[in-house]
Amino acid sequence: MAERPEDGNAKLDQELRRGVIVLATLSQLQTPQYGYSLRQALADQGMAVEEGTLYPLLRRLEGQGLLASEWRIEDGPPRRYYTLSAEGKKLYAALIVSWRSLVGVVDRLIGEAPAEKRKTS
């Protein structure tokens, strides 16, 4: 069955966002957060991430040694809090550099597009 254009667009949008979820997540884990509070923190700043994507991601990042975690009991049931590990901090710094460079390049590219259009029309 052929893919509907809107499905394709949604997928591309999802892929674009997926690429930055790791960076967004690392940015919020300089202080310990548990899954739900992290999701809220991201959503409050306009970066809504599905729970089904975020929670497994935390585990995978921990498995890669980028996050450290521990169970804590504060005001409620036990919760697993995640924070950046030393390795995670290094990666976060490197990703910021890559991101800024990428944003600059893409901004230039997007900025050139209308001019190019004008030239050809």
List of residues contacting another protein (CB under 8 A) = 34-36, 50-53, 55-57, 59-60, 63-64, 77-80
Quick one: 61 or 84, whose CB is closer to another protein?
Answer: 61
Quick one: 73 or 97, whose CB is closer to another protein?
Answer: 73
Closest CA to 53 of 14, 8, 89: 14
Residues 6 or more apart whose Cβ sits within 8 Å of residue 81: 32, 33, 34, 69, 70, 71, 72
**Contact present, 81 and 41 (Cβ < 8 Å):** no
Quick one: 17 or 80, whose CB is closer to another protein?
Answer: 80
Q: What is the nearest approach in angstroms of another protein to the Cβ of residue 60?
A: 6
**Contact present, 83 and 68 (Cβ < 8 Å):** yes
Name the E strands within 6-45: 33-34
Q: What is the nearest approach in angstroms of another protein to the Cβ of residue 80?
A: 5
Q: What is the nearest approach in angstroms of another protein to the Cβ of residue 92?
A: 19
Quick one: 40 or 101, whose CB is closer to another protein?
Answer: 40
